Amino acid sequence: MSISKRQGGNGANELLRRQQGVPRGLLQFYILQLISEGRTHSHDILRSIEKKAGTDWTSGSVLSTLRKFVVEGLVLQTSESRRSSERVYEITSRGAAFLKEGKEVLSIADRNWFDMRGIFIDLMDATSLPEFLNEGSKANFQLSREIIQAKMSKLDQREAESALKEYALNLRKQVAWTEARIQKLSKDTKLRPQDTGTGLPNLRAVT
């Protein structure tokens, strides 16, 4: 049976649509991170997820995840006062260890994606290259800039300066490589035989 029939619709669209959005596992680690930072109210947790992840997670799904954490001993549920119905959570030592382990796994996620780059390259249509270069480069720079602004102050000054210099060097290497490709394309275009109707190259194009 084909994928399309199994999915009950357009197979490729349906399969990829189910993969969109932030992975549930990643959001679970983010919830633990929020609690460890002191954002312990369920309402604040949901609001932070909506702001940073742009996801359509409901309050029910967030509370369900928090209840799961309580059962597993990753967080403790408390309350501010008897009058308040707002749930308040506190991360446990077990939850902190689990969060640390998750961060270590996420820190090498980019390497895993890089190892799979051959599959991505083979699946990409050549007509998608212009948009990929334009939007991809802007997105990568935006991500790097936000990470630098958010995390650089937590590093030693010398370490931060060294990291920025290395980043700037890599950017210059990328620009130099790209400009070399542009020059090569321009040269190849000038040397490419033009159709003159005689089957011979247009000599004007190479003079």
Per-residue pLDDT tens over the stretch 92-132: 999 999 999 888 887 777 777 778 888 888 988 999 999 98
Q: What is the pLDDT of residue 40?
A: 80
CA 168 – CA 97 distance, rounded (Å): 35
Q: Is 22 left (phi over 0), alpha (psi -120 to 50) or beta?
A: beta
Least confident of 46-50, 87-91, 105-109, 196-200: 196-200
The helix (H) or strand (E) run that includes residue 139 is helix 129-151
Residue where the block lists tokens 């247009």:
202
- Tokens at residue 64, please? 């369900």
Angle between helices 157-191 and 129-151 (to 10 degrees): 170
Q: What is the pLDDT of residue 85?
A: 59
Query: Topology of domain 3-107, per CATH?
Result: Arc Repressor Mutant, subunit A (1.10.10)
How do residues 162-173 score in pLDDT, each as one tens digit? 999 999 999 999
> Does position 203 have pLDDT exceeding 50, yes or no?
no
The helix (H) or strand (E) run that includes residue 87 is strand 87-91
**Mean pLDDT value across the chain:** 78
Domain ranges of the chain: 3-107
CA 73 – CA 60 distance, rounded (Å): 20
- Tokens at residue 24, please? 């549930």
pTM greater than 0.75 (yes/no): no
Q: What is the pLDDT of residue 172?
A: 95
Percent of the chain residues topping a pLDDT of 90: 32
How do residues 6-45 score in pLDDT, each as one tens digit? 444 444 444 344 444 455 677 888 889 999 988 788 888 8
CA 144 – CA 155 distance, rounded (Å): 16
CA 190 – CA 143 distance, rounded (Å): 38
